[in-house]
């Protein structure tokens, strides 16, 4: 069971949250072209290691925020609001 | 040295001689410095590709490089279900070619893989689901593939364990493919490794690839030293992105854990493969008597081959809703495999941005059933450099071209597939 630190509510069980994928990709400007959008929508680093990702506190405050988690050990090192960056 | 032909007569003869005459099913090879073709990953797809390259395309100078032992990846972790009840026409054609491959498998490879066409039954719980399954059955019928609608009484007759009137999602019917069923997963790996080895392929176990240098030939750094090859096939399931990163490119793949479970053995109670439509749960009964079951992925990127607790609870809850009697059984084992979830939920058998480097990946949670056809189409691609007609839609370029395969309409969200 992941114990996820919501920046608003504090730590809660994974079952309260919804996963929303890789938070390291950024949406390109509207005129960036097909290749930029292809990379943004489809290509992922998919690391076996530290991963920055979106979670939503669906059964809590409903905020969406970032988590830095290790995809092998599941250790969570950091959580923060959109726009923030892990130290 | 070949292991010799297997037969009932051979079994009898070996039994009389105290079983002293059996030889290793495949020759344990060490990596040579150079090969015409190197296949990374000794799972079902890597081994079947090696077999077809040797058998169908006549290329014998091949190594299969496997970091562990044969069968320790998803090949030996899956729930053994085979079927071809897909929705899009190209997928129906591809997966039915695989199902026909299973129908020939044991004769062709001279190996008992316990191929059992016991039928796969998907249960229907809402009107919308019924419409979707009817549409899928019609799509299959157009391709000449069998599919039947079963009414609730028919469901009860096929699977007495199912609680038809469960309060939340009563069973309205079922979608049956009689040719679907199960195949003994380990035996599939052993059969392909043996057949490929007999044809001269080097099955190199305990040799992991830790670096890929593009060029001609391509140089692979392995735990047993460098190996060069004219052409390389990546068939490493959940580790595809890691290997692609070594070669310098990214993939439309995320890695997720999928769990499975098996109960203690009981007398036969479940004759076919059943899938619950009200939640994530499916089950079959092994010939040993255990109920083998599973559900959805863990729902977030994971390379941990162990599985998460919320998914254990969800799978058990769904299972007991459908078949309350299962609550009396003890679960003996639970395990997980790490899967190559593609962005559209369909496989990628393709060339790559690196010349002479090819891919067989994106098999998601359904790549076991695909092995006989997956091996053929990957072998065709590596041998000829062009996609096999059955697998043109699996090319990597489909994502850039906007030609994703819309099997389920779930969008580019692997956790939703
Ligand atoms: C719990 C579970 C249940 C499933 N149930 C079903 C089912 O009922 N029906 C179905 O059709 N599919 C099912 N699947 C999916 C199916 O198992 C996979 O899609 C299929 O086995 C993938 O085949 P593969 O050969 O690509 O992968 P694998 O068998 O995983 O082979 C990949 C191999 O690559 C090796 N490897 C990785 N990295 C390296 C490296 N650097 N160097 C050398 N070797 C490396 C690994 O050790 C592994 O042996 C299930 C999967 C799981 C986990
Ligand atoms: Zn919260």
CA angle centred on B64, ends B58 and B69, rounded to 5°: 140
Nearest CB to A19; choose among B299, B343, B399: B299
Contact B239, B257 (CB under 8 A): no
The confidence score (pLDDT) of residue B408 equals 84
At A4, is the secondary structure helix, strand, or coil? Answer: strand
- CATH label of the domain that carries residue B310: 3.30.9.10
**Percent residues over pLDDT 90 in chain B:** 97
Of B293, B321, B342, which marks where a domain is finished? B342
Same-domain pairing of B332 and B401: no
Closest ligand 1 atom to residue B338 Cα is: 53
Q: Indicate the DSSP class of residue B266.
A: -
Please give the Cα distance from B350 to B405 (Å, whole number).
15
Of B342, B367, B390, which marks where a domain is finished? B342
Please give the Cα distance from B414 to B67 (Å, whole number).
26
The 10 Å CB-count burial string (b at 16+, else e) for B258-295 is bbbbbbeeeeeebebbbbbbbbbbbbbbbeeebbbbbb
Domain A3-23+36-80: CATH superfamily, name plus number: Folate-binding superfamily (3.30.2270.10)
Mean pLDDT score, B52-72: 97
Question: Which residues of chain A make contact with B255, given a CB cutoff of 8 A?
Answer: 46, 48, 71
Of B288, B315, B342, which marks where a domain is finished? B342
B36, B75, B76, B172, B345 from B407: Cα distances, Å: 36, 23, 26, 23, 8
The verdict on residue B59 lying in a domain is yes
- Residue B238, pLDDT above cutoff 80: yes
Please give the Cα distance from A66 to B327 (Å, whole number).
38
Here the ipTM equals 0.97
The residues, any chain, with a CB within 8 Å of residue B37's CB and separated by 6 or more, are B53, B59, B61, B62, B63, B229, B230, B231, B232, B233, B382
Mean pLDDT score, B358-371: 98
- Please give the residue that has the higher pLDDT: either B417 or B230: B230
- Residue B39, pLDDT above cutoff 70: yes
The verdict on residue B68 lying in a domain is yes
Mean pLDDT score, A60-75: 98
Contact B32, B194 (CB under 8 A): no
Nearest to B177 by CA among B152, B202, B223, B145: B145
Task: Please answer yes or no on whether A14 and B252 come within 8 Å at the CB atom.
Answer: no
Domain layout of chain A by residue ranges: 3-23+36-80
A43, A46, A72, B209 from B249: Cα distances, Å: 9, 12, 22, 16
Mean pLDDT score, B92-113: 98
Nearest CB to A21; choose among B241, B303, B415: B415
Handedness of CA B59, B65, B68, B72 (dihedral sign): negative
Mean pLDDT score, B167-179: 94
Same-domain pairing of B263 and B167: yes
Nearest to B379 by CA among B175, B221, B233, B244: B233
Handedness of CA A73, A75, A77, A83 (dihedral sign): positive
Task: Please answer yes or no on whether A53 and B310 come within 8 Å at the CB atom.
Answer: no
Mean pLDDT score, A24-49: 97
At B114, is the secondary structure helix, strand, or coil? Answer: coil
The confidence score (pLDDT) of residue B167 equals 81
Mean pLDDT score, A11-32: 97
The verdict on residue B258 lying in a domain is yes
Q: Is B192 in the pocket of ligand 1 (CB under 6 A)?
A: no
Using pLDDT thresholds of 50, 70 and 90, give the confidence band for residue B1: low
Nearest CB to A51; choose among B301, B308, B414: B301
Q: Which of A42, A51, A67, A75 to mutate to test the interface with B (most CBs of B within 10 A)?
A: A42
Please give the Cα distance from B111 to B108 (Å, whole number).
8
Mean pLDDT score, B273-281: 95
Mean pLDDT score, B259-281: 96
- Residue A32, pLDDT above cutoff 90: yes
What mean pLDDT, rounded, does chain B reach?
96
The domain total for chain B is 2
Using pLDDT thresholds of 50, 70 and 90, give the confidence band for residue B388: very high
User: Can you give the residue range of the structural domain that contains B296?
Assistant: 117-181+254-342
Mean pLDDT score, B113-130: 97
**Helix (H) or strand (E) segment spanning residue B223:** none
Give the residues across from A55 on adjacent strands.
A19, A65
Using pLDDT thresholds of 50, 70 and 90, give the confidence band for residue B250: very high
Same-domain pairing of B348 and B337: no
At B137, is the secondary structure helix, strand, or coil? Answer: helix
Q: What is the DSSP string of A8-59?
A: TTEEEEGGG-EEEEESS--PPPTTS-HHHHHHHHH-B---SSEEEEEEE-TT
Alpha helix ranges (H) inside B253-384: 309-322, 371-384
Same-domain pairing of B151 and B261: yes
Nearest to B57 by CA among B374, B382, B351: B382
The confidence score (pLDDT) of residue B338 equals 97
CA B239 to centroid of ligand 1, rounded, Å: 10
Question: Residue written as tokens 């010349």?
Answer: B355
Q: Is B239 in the pocket of ligand 1 (CB under 6 A)?
A: yes
The confidence score (pLDDT) of residue B168 equals 83
The verdict on residue B93 lying in a domain is no
Phi, psi (degrees; rounded to nearest 5) at B31: -70, 130
Closest ligand 1 atom to residue B360 Cα is: 26
Mean pLDDT score, B387-414: 94
Same-domain pairing of B127 and B160: yes
Please give the Cα distance from B239 to B68 (Å, whole number).
13
Please give the Cα distance from B133 to B120 (Å, whole number).
13
Same-domain pairing of B238 and B191: yes
- Residue B341, pLDDT above cutoff 70: yes
Using pLDDT thresholds of 50, 70 and 90, give the confidence band for residue B409: confident
pTM for the model stands at: 0.97
Same-domain pairing of B124 and B194: no
């Amino acid at each position: 069971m992941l114990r996820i630190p919501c920046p608003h509510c504090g730590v809660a069980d994974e079952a309260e949250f919804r996963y929303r994928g890789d938070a390291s990709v950024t949406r390109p400007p509207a005129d960036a072209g097909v290749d930029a959008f292809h990379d943004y929508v489809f290509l992922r680093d998919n690391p076996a290691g530290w991963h920055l990702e979106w979670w939503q506190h669906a059964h809590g405050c409903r905020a969406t925020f970032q988590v830095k988690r290790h995809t092998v050990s599941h250790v969570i090192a950091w959580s923060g609001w959109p726009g923030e960056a892990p130290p | 040295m070949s292991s010799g032909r297997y037969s009932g007569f051979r079994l009898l003869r070996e039994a009389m001689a105290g079983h002293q005459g059996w030889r290793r099913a495949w020759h344990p090879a060490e990596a040579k410095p150079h090969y015409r073709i190197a296949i990374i990953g000794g799972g079902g797809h890597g081994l079947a590709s090696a077999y077809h390259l040797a058998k169908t395309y006549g290329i014998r100078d091949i190594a299969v490089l496997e970091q562990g032992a044969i069968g320790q990846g998803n090949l030996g972790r899956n729930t053994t279900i085979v079927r071809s009840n897909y929705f899009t026409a190209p997928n129906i054609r591809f997966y039915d070619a695989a199902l026909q491959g299973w129908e020939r498998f044991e004769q062709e490879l001279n190996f008992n893989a316990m191929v059992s066409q016991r039928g796969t039954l998907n249960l229907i719980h809402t009107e919308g689901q019924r419409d979707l399954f009817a549409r899928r059955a019609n799509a299959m019928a157009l391709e000449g593939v069998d599919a039947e609608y079963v009414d609730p009484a028919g469901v009860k007759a096929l699977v007495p364990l199912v609680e038809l009137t469960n309060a939340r999602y009563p069973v309205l019917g079922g979608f049956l493919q009689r040719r679907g069923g199960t195949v003994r997963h380990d035996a599939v790996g052993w059969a392909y490794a043996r057949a490929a080895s007999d044809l001269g392929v080097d099955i190199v176990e305990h040799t992991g690839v830790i670096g890929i240098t593009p060029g001609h030939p391509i140089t692979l750094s392995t735990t047993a030293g460098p190996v060069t090859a004219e052409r390389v096939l990546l068939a490493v399931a959940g580790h595809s992105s890691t290997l692609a990163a070594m070669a310098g490119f990214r993939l439309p793949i995320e890695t997720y854990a999928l769990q499975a479970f098996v109960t203690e053995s009981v007398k036969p109670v479940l004759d076919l493969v059943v899938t619950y439509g009200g939640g994530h749960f499916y089950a079959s009964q092994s010939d040993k008597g255990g109920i083998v079951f599973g559900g959805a992925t863990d729902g977030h990127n994971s390379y941990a081959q162990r599985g998460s607790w919320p998914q254990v609870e969800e799978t058990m809850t769904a299972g007991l809703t459908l078949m309350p009697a299962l609550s009396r059984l003890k679960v003996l084992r639970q395990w997980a495999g790490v899967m190559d979830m593609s962005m559209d939920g369909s496989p990628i058998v393709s060339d790559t941005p690196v010349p002479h480097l090819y891919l067989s990946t994106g098999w998601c949670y359904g790549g076991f059933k695909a092995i006989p056809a997956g091996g053929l189409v990957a072998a065709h691609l590596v041998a000829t450099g062009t996609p096999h007609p059955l697998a043109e839609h699996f090319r990597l370029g489909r994502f850039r071209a906007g030609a994703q395969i819309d099997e389920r309409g779930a969008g580019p969200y692997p956790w939703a597939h």
